[in-house]
Amino acid sequence: MSSTIVPTVPTGAHEPAERAPTDWRTQSMQKRIRRRYAAERRFRFFGMAAVVLSAAFLAFLLVTMVAQGWRGFTRTDIAIEMNFPAIALPVTAAQLRSPAADLALAGAGLENAVKAAAAQQFGEGGDDFISDRAWVKVRDAIKADPAILTRTVRFAVPASTKIDQGTRNGGEPEFRAAAARLQAAGLLSRSFNGNFLTASDSTDPVAVGIWGALKGSLLTMAVTFLIAFPVGVLSAIYLEEYAPRNRWTDLIEVSINNLAAVPSIIFGLLGLAVFLGSWQIGGVTVGPLLPRSAALVGGLTLALMIMPVIVIASRNAIKAVPPSIRDAALGIGASPIQVVFHHVLPLAMPGILTGTIIGMARALGETAPLLLIGMRAFMVTPPGGFTDPATVLPVQIFLWSDEVSRGFVEKTSAAILVLLAFLLAMNGLAIYLRNKFETRW
Amino acid sequence: MNVYALLFLIAGLGLIGWLTARARAARFDRGPQKRLHSLPSQHGWYVVLWMMIPALLFLAVWNGLTPGLVRQAALQDPAAAQLSDFDFERDAVLSEARRLSEDPQATGDPLAHQLSHAVGEARSRYKWIGTAVAVLLAFAGGAFAFTRIRASFHARTRVERGVMLLLLVASLIAILTTLGIFLSLLWESLRFFQQVPITDFLLGTHWSPQVIDAADPGASLGAVPLFWGTFFIGAVIAMLVAIPFGLMSAIYLTQYAAPRVRRWMKPILEILAGVPTVVYGYFAALTVAPAVRDLAVSLGYTYASSESALAAGLVMGVMIIPFVSSMADDSIAAVPTAMRDGSLAMGATTSETISRVLIPAALPGVVAGILLAVSRAIGETMIVVMAASGAAKITLNPFESATTVTKQIVDLLTGEAEFDSPKTLAAFALGLTLFVITLLLNIVALRVVKRYREAYE
């Protein structure tokens, strides 16, 4: 150690004393190394455990939802026999061919006839075994083929909630026994419940569907997008390309960053106070500026919430476009506006769209602000427009989740599956866009 | 005329303006220098801006004013003399009258029937005035702009100035939103603090808004139990889950995992952040809470609540994991590889390098990430609305029930309550507190990063 490579340079007397090399083979050293390696393995194991447990939680959540939710897409059917010649519904063939067939069959007492048939076959209280909407299926069958009115036909109609719960050993004991009896007689079957995707909210879990809430969600998302996207992109362009660096633009920048971190429920309070509160403008009291619990208000509120997300994503995308593109466009005589709108913006668009989709996905799953602005009413008809009272999918889930006792559990889980499917599709689209258009300059 | 039809009409007029102005500019006599200052389409846009912007601005203002004007007109009607003096009843009758004016077949209050005629008349009158003025403005603006375009006219400069103005307005919306949030919260909170002393609210330890004594509303509106519950669930229990899991996941994925594993696991963890909170809430209430209660019972707590702080906090912590992990991931990745390699070259094991070199170097980023995660946890709503209880208690026992600020805001505002009662206004005071706290946490987090971040290279 003390010998030098270059012979002419003398080794000084103040050179540190030579240290004996570490003997790695001594027992104490070996023990120490083993301990350190054990610590290393432990640490590594904890890291892996953290990742695996987090993923396991996600898997557990999804499996629980799917296990409960798939039943929401199916329903229990119960077989009943309709002896039409004996019932002799007072309808004529001409009525059944006319557009008023629904009305004629309802007026002829088909609903009571179906109930009576159920009571006759299943004994006292048997009309409780079939769903309130069971007769609709019989009606549709008659409309499709009026000839069945001349003979006895066996239908598989939707069973009531009580029977449906009974098939899974839930609900009231008396219906559990009835369900077991029917099962043994081979009268029960399961079928796909298409009604769940096309119907709206109802008090009867057999008849509920998510279409009303889904349509409300789509309308709300449309408003959110139409406001947040242009405003977000335009302000990103301004801040990134044109804004002078001064106190005002700093203020705008700080506001945007802070807005991105404001809890979502605060936006609900804003919507409630600003859009739905009453205002004094020049001595005239202006009532709610916008209609209560409408998709318009919900969309506006969510637009304010996700705008900062879009601004931040758009700024990053615009920043990533290399200056040489701008210089080249400026060099051949384009004006600053033309540079941005003809060159920079098209190149930044994939990044902007990715950010927007992620923001929209967040808005789609948001519940709390919409609860505050009143989008939680019981809504039997889907909204017809932006100003009609509406509810959205997450709020529908929240409302159904309160009805655990009435057999809404599987419907809630099924609605969650639909919502998750939408979110996964949106995130998948965002990832696809990012991968497809990713450019390295 | 229907608002949508009117917007469509104005857009159509704009299109016609664009086409005619562009066609006209294309046929300009170019003069000796043979080049126009502006492109024909820029002349077109100039006309469009003049046609649409004044008309749309007018419509926006007019639509805001119309309900008030209609109301004023209805109150002028002789039948309005019978209206009740109470604002609430009067508004109910007037809104019913509006509904009846749209659908005369509907049934309703007889007074509303009498008024519906006046309301309907005023509505259609103001609607037609609005339509006429908007169309007139569009034509006047278009004509003005059209007469100005000629070969020497600098349309490009004008249009670009207009576009810049549009961009500026767009970015001002952020400030307006921030201001709107702050002012609306402050305004309603001030009304609240006129009825309830601020000291009672901030320092009182008894929270029961269901029964408010009109003589002393402050006695049952002390928010300390809510602040404690929020802190206990969001900053203690949730962070006890989120920090170790998030940090260890980030470390494992950046330092140990094979690139393939990392490519798969990172998005999977991020899905956790993308699951809607209402789903977590449902999961917490339906699956986790009963399990936690059973656990508590088996540990000997006979009075364990099924709406325990632990259930809500655990699920919230899981939701926050990806948030902590991606912040930690970023700040660990920002530490130069040379430092890591140097430590490894000295003979340190990977775990020693991580705990003695990487984490201390990345600490400001990690701390900032944790602060942001706390701010997110205390603002989280749906999980606590569905899984936490409404009973405000100050307790250290995680198996007991606890309530939070956000849960109380939802409870206060979704009941049947009039708008002026201290009960409803209290929600805004709680909102203001929440807003200020999360804002402070964010500012502190940004400061930490700015001040203590080591500048490498």
B351 touches chain A (CB under 8 A): yes
Q: Among all residues of chain B, which has the CA nearest to that of A256?
A: B174
pTM for the whole structure: 0.85
Q: Which of A116-125, A235-244, B54-63, B269-278 has the lowest mean pLDDT?
A: A116-125
| Encoded amino acid at B233, one letter | I
B203 touches chain A (CB under 8 A): no
- Are residues B410 and A284, on separate chains, in Cβ contact within 8 Å? no
B72 touches chain A (CB under 8 A): yes
pLDDT digits (tens, 9 = 90+) for A301-317: 999 999 999 999 999 99
pLDDT digits (tens, 9 = 90+) for B29-54: 666 666 777 788 888 888 888 888 88
Among the listed residues B263, B361, B265, B371, the one whose alpha carbon sits nearest the alpha carbon of residue B323: B371
pLDDT digits (tens, 9 = 90+) for A281-340: 555 566 666 777 888 899 999 999 999 999 999 999 999 999 999 999 999 988 888 999
Once rounded to an integer, what is the mean pLDDT over residues B328-339?
A: 89
B285 touches chain A (CB under 8 A): yes
Q: What is the pLDDT of residue A1?
A: 44
- Rg of chain A taking only CA atoms, in angstroms: 34
Residue A220: its H or E element: helix A211-237
Which two structure tokens, joined as six digits, stand for A298? 């919900």
**Shortest CA gap B283–chain A (Å):** 7
Residues of A in contact with B269 (CB under 8 A): 51, 54-55, 58
Neighbouring-strand partners of residue A130: A159
pLDDT digits (tens, 9 = 90+) for B206-228: 888 877 777 777 778 888 999 99
Q: Which of A77-86, A205-214, A221-230, B225-234 has the lowest mean pLDDT?
A: A77-86
Residue of A265, A386, A432, A434 to mutate, interface with B, max B Cβ within 10 Å:
A265
Q: Where along chain B do the CATH 1.10.3720.10 domains lie?
A: 217-454
Decide if B19 contacts B48 (C-beta within 8 A). Answer: no
A-proximal residues of B, 82-121, CB under 8 Å = 91
- Are residues A286 and B248, on separate chains, in Cβ contact within 8 Å? no
Match 């912590």 to its residue by tokens.
Answer: B317
User: Which among A259, A265, A367 has the least Cβ separation from residue B409?
Assistant: A265
Residue of B95, B181, B226 to mutate, interface with A, max A Cβ within 10 Å:
B181
User: Which among B177, B256, B282 has the least Cβ separation from residue A304?
Assistant: B177
Q: What is the pLDDT of residue A53?
A: 94
Instruction: Provide the residue ranges of all domains of chain A, joining segments of one domain with +.
Output: 77-192, 210-278+288-437
Residues of B in contact with A272 (CB under 8 A): 413
> What ipTM, to 2 d.p.?
0.85
Residues of A in contact with B442 (CB under 8 A): 257-258, 261
**Shortest CA gap B93–chain A (Å):** 14
Q: Which of A50-54, A146-150, B444-448 has the lowest mean pLDDT?
A: A146-150
Q: Using 50, 70 and 90 to split pLDDT, how confident is the model at A2?
A: very low
C-alpha distances (whole Å) from A236 to each of A251, A434, A440, B162 are: 14, 19, 22, 17
Q: Using 50, 70 and 90 to split pLDDT, how confident is the model at A143?
A: confident
Sheet-wide strand order for A74-83: A152-158, A74-83, A188-192
User: Which among B178, B283, B351 has the least Cβ separation from residue A39?
Assistant: B351
Decide if B386 contacts A401 (C-beta within 8 A). Answer: yes
Q: What is the pLDDT of residue A110?
A: 78
CATH placement of domain A210-278+288-437: 1.10.3720.10
Neighbouring-strand partners of residue A279: A286
Burial category of B418 from C-beta neighbours within 10 Å (exposed 0-12, middle 13-18, buried 19 and up): exposed
pLDDT digits (tens, 9 = 90+) for B418-429: 666 778 888 999
Decide if B320 contacts B376 (C-beta within 8 A). Answer: yes
Q: Using 50, 70 and 90 to split pLDDT, how confident is the model at B375?
A: very high
Q: What is the pLDDT of residue A329?
A: 94
Query: Does the pLDDT value for residue A168 go beyond 60?
Result: yes
Q: What are the DSSP calls for A417-437, one per residue? A: HHHHHHHHHHHHHHHHHHHHH
- Neighbouring residues of B132: CB distance < 8 A, sequence distance ≥ 6: none
If you average pLDDT over each of A198-207, B143-152, B405-414, which comes out highest? Answer: B405-414
C-alpha distances (whole Å) from B188 to each of A99, A368, B193 are: 56, 20, 9
For domain B217-454, give the fold: MetI-like fold (1.10.3720)
Once rounded to an integer, what is the mean pLDDT over residues B319-345?
A: 91
Residues of A in contact with B72 (CB under 8 A): 284
